[in-house]
Structure 1
Amino acid sequence: MKLLYTFAYINILKAEEDAPQIRVTKIAHLDITVNGEPQGTVDIGLFGDQVPKTVKNFETLCGDGFKREGDEQVYSYNGTRIHRINKSFMLQAGDIINQDGTGSISIYGDTFDDENFDLKHYDEQWVSMANNGPNTNGCQFFVLYDEARFLDDEHVVFAKETVQSFFWKAERVVKAFHMTLAIEKLKTRSFSYNST
């Protein structure tokens, strides 16, 4: 996985609230395939200042992964499926254990605690940890297609897809977001992705 250090910031501006500027500490790149055919890359801007523990887990799984003591298996996102797509809501991925949304593992154990709920589910493209209740974060994550404030204080937001910064061309941002919207229309079992 290629991680880029940046000085990019995301302005979270909603008419009804003043939200903070968030510094992107690294960018993760996920290569998407549909039925084995490359579709492009989705870039995920990671917020390591706000949630360093959560970002470290995601970053490790996007990279070379990790091995548990006494276990030869390498746990990483490479080849993992997008196992859940809810139209107009979100896509969920990252189950590196069972590929179906039932598995959990992290660099900290099977699960790890919620780091904080400082960031919110403001609108589309925000990335959060999927969980089975309080303090059950593992490897699964989801990307929003729309605002989902009802998830605030229940899921840890740690990133945003296709961060717009002066490093990126506008056409790349638009293309990546349209690819994600196209994924929303497909059947779940047709996807996989690799982190690069």
Structure 2
Amino acid sequence: MAKKKETKEKKPAQEVNKEKKASEAKKSPEKKTVPDQKKVPEKKETKPSPTGPDEVRQRKQSENKQENSSKPAPVAREKSPPAQTKWSPRQERKQKQAKAAKQREQKRERRQERIKEKKVKKVPPAVNHFWVTYLRPWCRRHYILVTSSIALVFLLFALFLAKDTMDKQQQQPRFRHPTVTDKVTFHVNINNETSGDLVLGLYGKDCPLTVENFVKLSTHEVGYGYKGTKIHTVFPGHMLIGGDVVFNNGTGGRSAITENFEEENLKLRHLSPGTLGMVGLKNNNDSSRSSQFYITFGEATGFDGIAVVFGRILEGLEFLKKIGKVEVVGKSMRPNKLIVIEDAIHEKA
């Protein structure tokens, strides 16, 4: 009997394992038991050994990649700090120049950005088409004609501006004349053929005594004067001389003022045609030309500081040119034609 119990108690190991699995399955009924299956080893595909050159090259490349991946990564070395250099003015100057260059570049970039931002008016397509297809090729073919025509236009424009400026300069006086206080009009006759008027403006504030003498001789206030006298001397292109109230040939003269006075205000200059001056105005025993006057046909700067300028022609410069064209005789400069002052009228300016 004892032997039978031992045989009952001792069970094989396989049965014990099955009972354990069955008890576990009862406890967890949701899980399904799957019978053990033996793992079948997978068959590895054997690649044929490379025979061609391309396959050999690919194999070498793959081996190199594997070797590179197996190698450890290189350790980065820490850079040593740069050695401190001594300060020098050259380095500072270079730094300033570099900084200034950088600032200029930034300004240039900002300027270009602003230009791009501005709205540019687009050229109409028709004009652009005409320029691209017709005008630009023609200009390239005839570039000599185009450049010469442009230069000609600029030259004509410059000449026009130069002429305009010259006309303005001629219209505007180069200097300022003194104020005119009196006017005397001479009615002159040339050989009973032509006649005209010369309106003379007198500077009473600058030359008071000379103007007073000339006005009295013009109005015959003292009983004699310029009425009926002739222009006795003509220097072509230079001046005419008249006013000899005594001999009427340029050898005499007489003042209308009894008081003695010397030449006054020699600062006024002979800078324009029609300048009126007095010849040797000195009322003394030595003076013989105290009534003679002259009128210039142009500039006569050689008489500056020598003779007294006391007036100018206001009207009648064209008639004065006619008198200047009269022919003269020899060195005496006497005109061939008789030039007479028929009348003289005075008025206040």
Q: Which TM-score applies when normalising by structure 2?
A: 0.43
Matched-pair identity in % = 28
SS of aligned partner of 1:100: coil
Query: Displacement of 1:65 after TM fit?
Result: 3.2
Among 179, 192, 196, which residue is 1:23 paired with? 179
> Are 1:186 and 2:326 matched, yes or no?
yes
Moved over 4 A (4+): 109-112
Structure 2 vs 1, CA of residues 110 and 77 (structure 1 numbering), >3 Å: closer, same or farther?
farther
Distance 2:293 2:258 in 1: 16
Query: Displacement of 1:184 after TM fit?
Result: 1.0
> Are 1:102 and 2:251 matched, yes or no?
yes
Among 300, 309, 313, which residue is 1:157 paired with? 309
SS of aligned partner of 1:75: coil
> Quick check: 1:92–1:140 contact (8 Å CA) kept in 2?
yes
Distance 1:180 1:31 in 2: 12
Comparing both chains, which one has the higher relative contact order based on Cα–Cα distances under 8 Å and sequence gaps of 6 or more? 1
> Are 1:122 and 2:274 matched, yes or no?
no
Deviations 1:104-138 (A, max 9, x none): 211224974201212111121100001289x8461
> Are 1:56 and 2:212 matched, yes or no?
yes
Amino acid paired to 1:117: L
> Quick check: 1:111–1:138 contact (8 Å CA) kept in 2?
no
Distance 2:259 2:246 in 1: 10
Structure 2 vs 1, CA of residues 94 and 112 (structure 1 numbering), >3 Å: closer, same or farther?
farther
Structure 2 vs 1, CA of residues 38 and 195 (structure 1 numbering), >3 Å: closer, same or farther?
farther
Structure 2 vs 1, CA of residues 109 and 101 (structure 1 numbering), >3 Å: closer, same or farther?
farther
Amino acid paired to 1:29: T
SS of aligned partner of 2:178: strand
Corresponding residue for residue 33 of structure 1: 189
Structure 2 vs 1, CA of residues 111 and 177 (structure 1 numbering), >3 Å: closer, same or farther?
farther
Among 30, 45, 54, which residue is 2:201 paired with? 45
Distance 1:151 1:181 in 2: 20
> Quick check: 2:278–2:292 contact (8 Å CA) kept in 1?
yes
Unaligned runs of 5+ in 2: 1-171, 328-334
> Are 1:85 and 2:234 matched, yes or no?
yes
- Pick the structure with more helix per residue: 2
| Pairs aligned (count) | 162
Query: Displacement of 1:26 after TM fit?
Result: 1.1
Query: Displacement of 1:185 after TM fit?
Result: 1.6
- Aligned residues: CA RMSD: 2.5
Amino acid paired to 2:235: N
Distance 2:244 2:259 in 1: 12
Distance 1:61 1:32 in 2: 16
Corresponding residue for residue 152 of structure 2: none
